[in-house]
Amino acid sequence: MSVFSLLLVELKKIRRSKIFLILMIPVMMMWIPSTINAKMNFDVRGIPITPENNFFIQGFMGMTWFMIPATLVIGTVLLTQTERSQNGILKMLSLPVRTSTLCLTKFAVLIFLSMVQMVFCIGAYYASAAIASQLQNYNFILNPSFVCVNALALYWGAVPMAAVFWMFAILIKTPVFSVGLGLVSIVPSVLVIHTKMWFVYPMSYPFYLLMVQYGKAAEGMYATQIDRMPWLPVAVIITVLALAVSCIRFGASERR
């Protein structure tokens, strides 16, 4: 079976899971209050930032801090639990497909789900920015290339975290631990990004990237440049290591 058809099979499996609803509701929840309270963006409290940048960053703040990681955790639950009933995973493992390919395809679906959320997010941003511009008589709409590049960077920064969550889901068969660990690990990222060692904690990457964007838009709030040097190699190592471990251990408890 080619990787592509395997991917299509995996996508077919989640067709009726209502996951797209779960991806979409938080996006709408995020932009409705920020559209209604768009007026607050003019009150910058002495921070040198333009209202349209403020609107963009405040809107994405909750998303990157909490919802991107939480969505990934939900995605891992979806991917591991859909095949639990009637031992679906056993049937998949008996197919002439390498288990590591299967594991990586499922991971690709996880990334695909977060990309879908990104598209929803960009769409919702433009809708709410357009409405807010009408309501406040001020142009909140930012350049599409700027918005798309930034949103892509935030979600791209979530890939190492996704790999780590996927490793949790495979290594820890008891869902309460894998889910609990995932959710609990979100909370400290607020503190971690203010330390020097933020790059060893993959759950803080998207938030860090957004904070750098904040620093660029408002002088003196945070770093204005992304610290690429220790970060990129560490991120690659974490991702590769997590994926390697999950490929090796995928289906191990079923094969025993």
Partner 1 sequence: MTFILETKKLKRTGYLPAFLGAGIISCAFPVVNMLARSETFTSLPGNPFEILMDANWQMMAMLNILITICGACIMYHTEYADNGALKMDTLPVKPIRLFFCKFLITAEILAAIILFQIIVLTGCAVYWFPDSAFDFLTILKTAGFEWLVSLPTVTLMLLISSMCKNMWISLGAGVILVFTFSIFPQDNFVLRLLPFSAPYQTLSMADENVHIQLFCMVCVLQTAVLYLGETLYVKARRYLA
Binding site for partner 1 (CB under 8 A): 17-19, 22, 25-26, 29-30, 33-34, 37, 62, 66-67, 70, 73-75, 77-78, 81, 84-85, 174-177, 179-180, 183-184, 186-187, 190
Chain-centre distance for alpha carbon 53? 21
CB of 186 to partner 1, least distance (A): 8
If the CB atoms of residues 3 and 28 are measured against partner 1, the closer one turns out to be 28
- With tokens 């809708």, the residue in question is 127
CB of 47 to partner 1, least distance (A): 19
CB of 236 to partner 1, least distance (A): 28
If the CB atoms of residues 80 and 246 are measured against partner 1, the closer one turns out to be 80
If the CB atoms of residues 25 and 148 are measured against partner 1, the closer one turns out to be 25
Contact, 222 vs 214, CB < 8 A? yes
Q: Which residue in 181, 182, 212 sits closest to 194, CA to CA?
A: 212
Q: Which residue in 189, 188, 186, 182 sits closest to 165, CA to CA?
A: 182
If the CB atoms of residues 84 and 91 are measured against partner 1, the closer one turns out to be 84
CB of 96 to partner 1, least distance (A): 29
Q: Which residues of 70-90 are buried (b: 16+ CB within 10 A; e: fewer)?
A: bbbbbbbbbbbebbeeeeebe
Q: Which residues of 225-247 are buried (b: 16+ CB within 10 A; e: fewer)?
A: ebeeeebeebbeebbeebbebbb
If the CB atoms of residues 77 and 241 are measured against partner 1, the closer one turns out to be 77
